[in-house]
Amino acid sequence: MNEYLPGLAGVPATKSNISSIDGEKGILAYRGYSIQELAENSTFEETSSLLLCGELPSKAELEEFDRQLRGERKLKYNVREIMKYLPATGHPMEMLQTAIASMGMFYKRSEVLTEGLGPEEEYYVHTMSVKIIARIATIVAAWQHVRHGYDPIEPRSDLNHAENFLYMLTGVEPDPLTARIMDACLIMHAEHTINASTFAAMVCASTLAGPFRVIAAAIGTLAGPLHGGANQRVVEMLDEIGRPENVRDWLEMKQEEKDVIWGMGHREYKTKDPRAIILQKMLHEWADKKGDLSPMFETALELERQCEEILGPKGVYPNVDYYSGILYSEMGIPADQFTPIFAVSRIAGWMAHWKEQLSDNRIFRPTQIYTGHPPRDYVPIDQR
């Protein structure tokens, strides 16, 4: 195949049985289970086990996996010390990539894996997956305190993953509704086929680099505003609009300038992202239980309505980033922590793809279409 397709759009890069998307019908499924069912009935722990192992765990298997995660939440003090010396004004995603990369130095055999997965390799992959899934949440939560000059809050083993993350982040044990919404958000962001960050992880994994380097590559890719950073841009966009009555004039101006409407449109979906539908429902539930919502949500609803009128015929609808940032804002989470929370969730999918890549590995080596000069002779510098 010699046809050049920018961004490798539509070009199959691998075979995978981890997740699937039907963009025309707006369906996302993990291992065959719809995201709607998982968000409503599962937990992040169970969903992570599903992604890593291929099947929903039994009660005993889930209890064991949960026990393993709870036992791996603490950070080595060396990593905490590294974090303390990072600039407080740096973006949390830069901190996260640095901290994850540094963790590889503390574990033997974190650099090389042989081709294929035998029993020993299976055990290694599972152990590393548990460590990284558990500790990335601790790192993200710890930075919220470290960057303000305080010691991080120690994890608690009596709380589930979502509850413990919110507790470490805020210092307050979350109420059941907040914890459940965070749990569902983690589930919805956990996996999404071969997106940019997952592909970066796969390319890195194909060289047999260790898991911490693989995840550091994925985090760096997720940080871009065209990928995981979009939810922060959505909140900034809605703040710029201000109120619902300002939407029309703002949207017309952006259309004239051919500017990006953050959170609108997705390469895979020709209808509304199924995750955006769930998040919007959660925002209404939050409003019903908490009693009020910021004007940002009303502005978002009005912008969606007007965008559907203008952009809907082109297949452009809200994606997962459109409502996730609003929901995190309602929880009191700083905007620059939205993308790190994305990573706290997507780590489950990244680890699943790391495992899958190693099971039938071949190093990625795409070709190119050369557009430079034809062969030519070197010209000495005094003749140029």
Q: What does the longest C-alpha to C-alpha distance in the chain come to? A: 78
Q: Which residue has the tokens 């992604």?
A: 51
Rg of the chain over CA atoms, in angstroms? 22
What is the fold, at CATH topology level, of the domain defined by 16-225+337-359?
A: Citrate Synthase; domain 1 (1.10.580)
pLDDT at 60: 98
Please tell me the distance from the alpha carbon of residue 330 to that of residue 129, in angstroms, as a whole number. Answer: 31
DSSP code, position 71: T
Environment class of 138 (CB within 10 Å of its CB; exposed 0-12, middle 13-18, buried 19+): buried
87-134 residue pLDDT tens: 999 999 999 999 999 998 887 665 556 667 888 888 999 999 999 999
Nearest Cα residue to 70 out of 3, 163, 160, 6? 160
3-class DSSP assignment, residue 264:
strand
Please tell me the distance from the alpha carbon of residue 366 to that of residue 197, in angstroms, as a whole number. Answer: 17
Please tell me the distance from the alpha carbon of residue 81 to that of residue 100, in angstroms, as a whole number. Answer: 13
Q: Are 338 and 295 in contact, with CB atoms under 8 Å apart?
A: no
**CB proximity list for 329: less than 8 A, separation 6 or greater:** 235, 294, 296, 335
Show the tokens assigned to 352. 């699943």
Catalytic residue among 266, 273, 288, 373: 266
Catalytic residue among 66, 189, 321, 353: 321
Please tell me the distance from the alpha carbon of residue 9 to that of residue 199, in angstroms, as a whole number. Answer: 13
Nearest Cα residue to 191 out of 54, 81, 298? 54
CATH 1.10.230.10: does it fit domain 230-330? Answer: yes
Q: DSSP of 139-205, one letter per residue? A: HHHHHHHHTTT-PPPPP-TTS-HHHHHHHHHHSSPPPHHHHHHHHHHHHHTS--SS-HHHHHHHHHH
Q: How many residues does the chain have?
A: 384
| Positive/negative CA dihedral, 266, 249, 304, 230 | positive
Known catalytic residue at 321: yes
Q: Are 177 and 289 in contact, with CB atoms under 8 Å apart?
A: yes
Domain coordinates of the chain in residue numbers?
16-225+337-359, 230-330
Please tell me the distance from the alpha carbon of residue 346 to that of residue 190, in angstroms, as a whole number. Answer: 4
Environment class of 1 (CB within 10 Å of its CB; exposed 0-12, middle 13-18, buried 19+): exposed
pLDDT at 110: 57
pLDDT at 162: 98
Environment class of 132 (CB within 10 Å of its CB; exposed 0-12, middle 13-18, buried 19+): buried
In which residue ranges of the chain is pLDDT below 50?
A: none
Q: DSSP of 10-52, one letter per residue? A: T------SSEEEETTTTEEEETTEEHHHHHHH--HHHHHHHHH
Please tell me the distance from the alpha carbon of residue 372 to that of residue 35, in angstroms, as a whole number. Answer: 46
Show the tokens assigned to 243. 């109120």
**Across-strand partners of 21?**
28
pLDDT at 1: 55
pLDDT at 6: 84
What letters, b where the CB count within 10 A reaches 16 and e where it falls short, cover 254-293? eeeeeeebbbbbbeebbbbbbbbbbbbebbeebeeeeeeb
